[in-house]
Amino acid sequence: MPQDSFHNECDRISQGVDGVQYERQRWAKTEGPMLAKLVELAHAAIADRDDFELTEEGASTDIKRFVLKVHSFRVVGVVMWLERGHAMINAEEVGRSKYALTPGAAISADFQHVDADWMARTLQELMARIQF
């Protein structure tokens, strides 16, 4: 426990001295790798499908946006972010796509429960919203 107390005190001082820099470093150590893991799992979920592709488009540091392409056609957007320790993924309509989406809320899970199976189920649920 003394090590945790020491780190907590270091965090307190770092945040007090420069809150912006502290938040950047904290994000890089925690949320950054978590978001990278979400992206990795999404790509792995479709890796064996040569007809499917996720192309990053319009992403920022804390929100990753992809266009799901099928047979090189733009179909739907896939958005990933973190919110209070939860993985969040949603689908959205994208420009130059002829496909609509059934409205639906973002799918979330405590990040501890996010794995390859969760990602496959989540993408399946989002894909089920695509209207032809």
Q: How high is the pLDDT of residue 60?
A: 87
User: What mean pLDDT is predicted for residues 24-35?
Assistant: 92
pLDDT classification of 12: cutoffs 50, 70, 90: very high
User: What mean pLDDT is predicted for residues 114-127?
Assistant: 98
Altogether, the residues listed in the chain come to a count of 132
Residue 1 has pLDDT above 60, yes or no: no
Mean pLDDT score across all residues of the chain: 95
Domains of the chain by residue range: 33-131
Q: How high is the pLDDT of residue 104?
A: 96
- Of 43, 87, 89, the closest CA to residue 69 belongs to 43
Model pLDDT for residues 48-92, shown as the tens digit of each residue: 999 999 999 988 889 999 999 999 999 999 999 999 999 999 999
Q: How high is the pLDDT of residue 58?
A: 87
Residue 4 has pLDDT above 90, yes or no: no
DSSP symbols for 18-83? -HHHHHHHHHHHTHHHHHHHHHHHHHHHTTT-TTEEEEE-S--SSEEEEEEEETTEEEEEEEEEEE
Residue 5 has pLDDT above 60, yes or no: yes
Whole-model pTM: value is 0.87
Residue 124 has pLDDT above 90, yes or no: yes
